[in-house]
Amino acid sequence: MVKELGIVRPGEIAKQRFNTSYLLAKEAFLETKGRVDAIFIACPRWPTVRNIGPLEKDLGVPVVTSAQAGARKALTLIGIKEAPAGFGQLFEGFGTAPSPWRSMGVTRDRLEPESSSSLPD
């Protein structure tokens, strides 16, 4: 399921109300009748961080955004093992526990090239 706003000019996405990503993600979820394993919200310019927790709580599935995934990867690359609060299930137990994606059968080797296998989890 893909939902979009029909925005053509990149700068327009940053002008959306903070809850637009929440509303669009929830609408897509309901249209699938909850038959999804996770929600991905693209576009790092879109204000999404404050919607991650409420979406996960309301819909019961992990939510990943471009900004959140990029932040997690950056923290991993520089060796930071503490998770910032409010970034959703992707950061739960960050540095101390396996990613929540492992429970869905998604492993590190399926997400990253072999050359990065020496990076810390």
Token pair listed for 63: 């939510």
pTM: 0.68
Beta carbons within 10 angstroms of residue 26's beta carbon: 18
Q: Which pairs from 103-112 meet CB under 8 Å and 24+ separation?
A: 104/37, 104/38
Q: How confident is the model at residue 26 (pLDDT cuts 50, 70, 90)?
A: very high
Query: Looking at residue 111, what is its pLDDT?
Result: 43
Structural domains present in the chain = 10-103 (3.40.50.12500)
Report percent pLDDT > 90 for the chain: 21
What residue has token string 């599935």? 61
The HSE-up count of residue 22 (CA atoms within 13 Å, CB side) is 14
Q: How confident is the model at residue 117 (pLDDT cuts 50, 70, 90)?
A: very low
**Secondary structure, 3-state, the chain:** CCCCCCCCCHHHHHHCCCCHHHHHHHHHHHHCCCCCCCEEECCCCCCCHHHHHHHHHHHCCCEEEHHHHHHHHHHHHCCCCCCCCCCCHHHCCCCCCCCHHHHHCCCHHHHCCHHHCCCCC
Query: Looking at residue 29, what is its pLDDT?
Result: 93
| Per-residue pLDDT reduced to its tens digit, 44-65 | 777 788 889 999 999 999 999 9
| Encoded amino acid at 103, one letter | S
Q: How confident is the model at residue 114 (pLDDT cuts 50, 70, 90)?
A: very low
Query: Looking at residue 20, what is its pLDDT?
Result: 87
User: For residue 65, what are the β-bridge partners?
Assistant: 41
Mean of the per-residue pLDDT values of the chain: 75
State the average pLDDT over residues 85-99.
Answer: 69
Query: Looking at residue 61, what is its pLDDT?
Result: 93
